[in-house]
């Protein structure tokens, strides 16, 4: 094609994902000069539909880290894996309420998927909490409910758990989203 636009690139990515050729789809995706939400959705969808849940979650995290917004299609694709992981954890000997590491990771995963209700349910159900579980929940709240993040930070300070750099990033993010930061 003499002129390649984003639509033609994405159509090729989708065609490769439907054919199950994720390697070719990834090559086209990486070659895109500008990756928008549609391009990221095509890749995440492709990985999810071709039984690559870990890569789909990694792709989702990369998208989130570069600041590309999300939509309900991506969240549905990613959240089904989070629920699957939760179900496995609940049935295992290291369930969410028993293992602070597993619980903290689920809080982080749910928060990144925008499912704060589920993240907070996991947090509330944990028998033991540590800096990771508190920081994950504070960061999750920081993006969506600044007052809940600050309230949880104050609750954490009432325990013996001391904040770390990640905790403070969550609190500062909450303050920024609540527009209570002076420059």
Domain ranges of the chain: 1-70, 95-183
- Options 3.40.50, 1.25.40, 2.60.40, 3.30.70; CATH for 1-70 is 1.25.40
What letters, b where the CB count within 10 A reaches 16 and e where it falls short, cover 115-143?
A: bbebbbbbbeebeebebbbbbbbbbbbbb
pLDDT, tens digit, for every residue of 103-113? 888 888 888 77
Q: Which residue has the higher pLDDT, 131 or 91?
A: 131
CATH topology of 1-70 equal to that of 95-183? yes
| Residue 77 pLDDT greater than 80, yes or no | no
Q: For residue 93, what pLDDT is reported?
A: 67
The residue whose two tokens read 């390697």 is 23
pLDDT, tens digit, for every residue of 105-155? 888 888 877 788 989 999 999 988 999 999 999 999 998 889 999 999 999
Distances, alpha carbon 64 to alpha carbons 20, 41, 107, in Å: 24, 12, 16
Q: For residue 183, what pLDDT is reported?
A: 56
Domain 95-183, classified CATH 1.25.40.10, yes or no = yes
pLDDT band at 89 (very low <50, low <70, confident <90, very high): confident
Which of these, 125, 144, 148, 139, lies nearest to 172 by C-alpha position?
139
Q: For residue 96, what pLDDT is reported?
A: 62
pLDDT, tens digit, for every residue of 30-71? 988 888 888 998 998 898 888 887 788 888 888 888 888 877
Structure token digits, residue 63: 């998208």
């Amino acid at each position: 094609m003499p002129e390649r636009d984003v639509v033609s690139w994405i159509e090729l990515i989708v065609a490769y994902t439907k054919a199950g050729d994720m390697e070719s789809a990834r090559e086209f995706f990486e070659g895109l000069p500008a990756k928008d939400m549609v391009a990221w959705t095509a890749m995440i969808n492709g990985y999810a539909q071709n039984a690559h849940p870990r890569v789909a979650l990694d792709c989702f995290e990369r998208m989130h880290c570069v600041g590309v917004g999300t939509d309900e299609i991506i969240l549905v694709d990613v959240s089904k894996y989070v629920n699957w992981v939760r179900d496995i954890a609940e049935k295992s000997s290291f369930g969410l309420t028993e293992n602070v590491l597993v619980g903290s990771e689920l809080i982080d995963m749910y928060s990144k998927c925008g499912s704060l209700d589920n993240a907070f349910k996991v947090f509330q159900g944990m028998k033991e909490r540590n800096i990771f579980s508190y920081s994950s929940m504070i960061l999750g709240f920081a993006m969506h409910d600044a007052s809940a993040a600050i309230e949880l930070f104050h609750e954490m300070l009432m325990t013996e758990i001391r904040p770390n750099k990640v905790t403070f990033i969550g609190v500062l993010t909450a303050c920024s989203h609540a527009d209570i930061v002076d420059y």
